Structure 1
Amino acid sequence: MPQFRCCTRVCHLVHCFVMSSPYFMQSMSVTTRLGTKNTGCTSAATLKSKLTRRRRYVDPVSSVAVKVEEEEAMVSVQRPSSAPLSTVGSLELHPHGTSHLKSETVTLPLSSHSRRRRQLKVEYDKDGGVTPMKTEHWEPPDWKKQLGHIREMRSGRDAPVDNMGAEKCYDTEAPASVRRFQVLVSLMLSSQTRDQVTAAAMQKLRAHGCSVENLLATDDETLGKLIYPVGFWRTKVKYLKLTSAMLQKEFGGDIPDSVEGLVRLPGVGPKMAHLAMDIAWDKVSGIGVDTHVHRISNRLGWLKKPTKNPEETRKALEEWLPRELWSEINWLLVGFGQQVCLPVNPLCSMCLNQHSCPSAFKNSPTKKPKTGSPKSPNPTSSLKIKVEHESAVKEEGTKTERLFTPVSPATQKKKAKRKVS
């Protein structure tokens, strides 16, 4: 018995010393091997309760990791592995059982619902002080001076376009829709036709009744006689009938008020559409470029590079010419081309731009005949013509020599006797 008591006391002292150590201060209870609670300097607790308490202490943070692992397992089953990822905080365990969320992120797949509602914010890098490149505005060097000279030469307003153009061919007393239709008809007839012929044809049409209903009621033969002799009059008869039917069906007898609608009409091109918008609707939609405007613009050097057709000229002029001049330029250049800057043999000596025009005093190029045509020169035939010409010259020389050679008096008397007899 005394030995047992001593051993018990020693064990009790050792146990108190051990449990009072700072390393074991967190757990306030121990259990014996037999599971009996010992009270002393620490409260009794079983090994199970100690482990449970430590789990509870770590549980608020570790539950997040458990939940994340469960969601990751569920999403990986529902969705493929190529789904978008989201980030959550990861756990970091410290000594003494403490834990907190790390600032590093762990990528996890998002659910389909959160993927739909997620919005992307796109940010663009700001310019690092770099200014955008500016394209230079090209314009001819002396175009203002040349335009002033053309206005001065056109001040008389006595060109054919001034008296017989599309602005003078409609009936001023007719209803507005009929006036607009007559403007369109005169523009359609003016293609490849002089203004004098167009004005005469419009006068006959107006006397017959130039409206949509009257043209549809007129047969092709009668309509052809009315517009003859305009260029391509048979084709224009067909275009007038088709256009009138289209206007009556789609536009109520009036002409369209847009370039897109006008170009849809049979026989109406961009030049006619822009002129119709200007004259009929009083709207400037573009430059009306015909053969005169196309020719003169290229001669004056008003284009960056030479153009091949009026449509290219229109686009090139609209790139630099101020918009307030678009309506005037057609009237100016057409009359100037009819009077001074003629297609063949222009009157450069009368032009005020003769010192600034790059094409001044240059004749229009003549068309060369094709090889094999009757007009094309043949090398052998040219040699024959040259030999014949030289022989003819020699014969004429001998004749002149005979005429001017001196004749003796005896020969003169003999010639006179022969004439008398």
Structure 2
Amino acid sequence: MCCRLEFGMKASGMRMVTRSWSREPGAGPRGIGEEAAPLGRGEAAAEGRKSHRPVKRQRKAQSLNVAYEVSDGEKGEGTELLKVPSWEPQDWQQQLANIRSMRSGKDAPVDQLGAEHCYDPSAPPKVQRYQVLLSLMLSSQTKDQVTAGAMQRLRARGLTVDSILQTDDSTLGTLIYPVGFWRNKVKYIKQTSAILQQRYGGDIPASVAELVALPGVGPKMAHLAMAVAWGTVSGIAVDTHVHRIANRLKWTKKVTKSPEETRRALEEWLPRNLWSEINGLLVGFGQQTCLPVRPRCQACLNQAMCPAAQRL
């Protein structure tokens, strides 16, 4: 395109006339590939009159790249290939290898009595998933041995949504005692079971958002339920063991104050293909070696490279 300016001198002074931008064939708002039709005599005159008006120069449209944040339940396989962590802990790969070595025996309570071992494998899939969720609800602030005992007593009576709703609160409390906060859990189990019957046909939801909306179900339980019941890795399940060990090893960029904060910090850098492994691995490690009080640092392969071992 070109633009031509003419300057003329008159008695009243200088006058500037701006000629219109010349148009190439096919340019402007015409359709792609549409040829420009020649102007008639009247149209040419009209075009000439319009040329004295200032013409706004159109800017070329810019292509914008928009990034969308993927929610926990929607992350697909291969997502980790798109994310390059800006930070990762020092020596974490060697520390992880050492923990795997120390956990090779798979003889911690979680290995025998965790949520994946508490349901009836002969029950219909829908009932199995319900039992997985109930075992997770019972496990909060409770040792695996106590949770497993409560699940055995419940299963002996036929553990389904209908059977729980037909059980009175007093009997249910007796069956699950002495799990932690058992009175609250009686209430949550009844409320959640009613919701599952009314909204999900007796099954459990298949998303983290719907699971955490159920009474008595937190993020850790939701992510474990997705993994065990649905076979979907939706995030890292972080309980008190994982929270404690991650901070002791400085696997978080800064000290975290809650398991949920630790989950978000770990997911920022830990490769996604390790998310399903990390809970069981660290929980068992926390039950046997990295104890809450008086950890067995002398027996830990990570003693020399653990920041906390120097202070404990």
Q: Deviation digits for residues 218-266 of structure 1, max 9, x if unmatched?
A: 0000000000010110000000000000000000000011111111111
Matched, 1:166 2:166: no
Flag the structure with more relative contact order, 1 or 2, with Cα contacts below 8 A and sequence separation at least 6.
Answer: 2
Partners in 2 of 1:188 and 1:141 — Cα distance?
35
Select the structure that is richer in helix. 1
State the partner residue of 2:286. Answer: 337
How many residue pairs match? The answer is 252
Shift of 1:167: 1.0
- Sequence identity (%): 65
**Equivalences for residues 347-362 of structure 1 within 5 A:** 347-362=296-311
Partners in 1 of 2:172 and 2:136 — Cα distance?
16
Matched, 1:282 2:231: yes
Structure 1 residue runs of 4 or more that deviate by more than 6 Å after TM superposition: none
> Which of 220, 234, 245 is 2:194 aligned to?
245
Conservation of the 8 A alpha-carbon contact between 1:348 and 1:361: no
Shift of 1:297: 0.3
State the partner residue of 2:173. Answer: 224
* One-letter amino acid of the counterpart of residue 119, structure 2: Y
**Equivalences for residues 176-195 of structure 1 within 5 A:** 176-195=125-144
Conservation of the 8 A alpha-carbon contact between 1:188 and 1:268: yes
Q: Deviation digits for residues 338-385 of structure 1, max 9, x if unmatched?
A: 00000011000000000000001433xxxxxxxxxxxxxxxxxxxxxx
* One-letter amino acid of the counterpart of residue 266, structure 2: L
Partners in 2 of 1:171 and 1:291 — Cα distance?
27
Conservation of the 8 A alpha-carbon contact between 1:236 and 1:267: yes
State the partner residue of 2:52. Answer: 105
Shift of 1:125: 9.0
* One-letter amino acid of the counterpart of residue 206, structure 1: R
User: Any idea what SS the aligned residue of 2:53 has?
Assistant: strand
Conservation of the 8 A alpha-carbon contact between 2:138 and 2:185: yes
The root-mean-square deviation of aligned C-alpha atoms, in Å, is 2.3
Conservation of the 8 A alpha-carbon contact between 2:85 and 2:269: no
**Unaligned stretches of 5+ in structure 1?**
1-59, 69-87, 91-102, 109-119, 127-133, 364-421
Matched, 1:197 2:134: no
Q: How has the CA–CA distance of structure 1 residues 105 and 282 changed in structure 2, closer, same or farther, with 3 Å as cutoff?
A: same
Conservation of the 8 A alpha-carbon contact between 2:289 and 2:297: yes
**Equivalences for residues 359-370 of structure 1 within 5 A:** 359-363=308-312
State the partner residue of 2:48. Answer: 89
* One-letter amino acid of the counterpart of residue 290, structure 2: C
Conservation of the 8 A alpha-carbon contact between 1:89 and 1:106: no
* One-letter amino acid of the counterpart of residue 174, structure 1: A
* One-letter amino acid of the counterpart of residue 249, structure 1: Q
**TM-score calculated relative to the size of structure 1:** 0.57
**Unaligned stretches of 5+ in structure 2?**
1-40, 65-82
* One-letter amino acid of the counterpart of residue 268, structure 1: V
